[in-house]
């Protein structure tokens, strides 16, 4: 503790003795610092890089949106083709049914012999 007091006394004596020599700086006085040439070039280059990256980001967002729209239209057309295929498969199943084949054969005066019928599956 005594060391802390000793340090405070020296600290206070140093600043109390030199207060007359210090310049008074008003808080309203403005101090302007000039930038070096390197700092100016660095600031301009950094600003250009940031602006370019912002433009690239906006361009990529627009491109992503366009690709998303085209993907959605392709998916819609794919869903339409799939539903058409399902409808056509159902229609093929109805046309291949045994009852329909017998009615068509009856209209054409054909007879069906089961021993001559062979089922082939793909």
Question: For residues 13 and 8, what is the distance between their CA atoms, to the nearest angstrom?
Answer: 8
Instruction: Name the percent of the chain lying above pLDDT 90.
Output: 47
Whether the per-residue pLDDT at 108 is higher than 60: the answer is yes
Tell me what pLDDT residue 17 has: 52
- Mean of per-residue pLDDT scores for the chain: 82
Mean pLDDT of 97-121: 80
101: number of Cβ within 10 Å: 13
- pLDDT band per the 50, 70, 90 thresholds, residue 97: confident
Mean pLDDT of 69-92: 96
């Amino acid at each position: 503790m005594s060391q802390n007091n000793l340090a405070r006394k020296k600290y206070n004596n140093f600043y109390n003795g030199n207060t007359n020599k210090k310049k008074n700086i008003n808080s309203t006085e403005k101090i302007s610092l000039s930038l070096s040439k390197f700092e100016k070039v660095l600031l301009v280059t950094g600003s250009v890089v940031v602006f370019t990256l912002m433009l690239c980001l906006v361009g990529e967002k627009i491109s992503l949106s366009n690709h998303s729209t085209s993907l959605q239209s392709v998916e819609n057309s794919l869903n339409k083709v799939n539903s058409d295929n399902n409808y056509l498969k159902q229609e093929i199943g109805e046309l291949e049914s045994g009852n329909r084949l017998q009615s068509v054969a009856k209209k054409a005066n054909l007879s069906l012999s089961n021993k001559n019928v062979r089922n082939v599956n793909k």
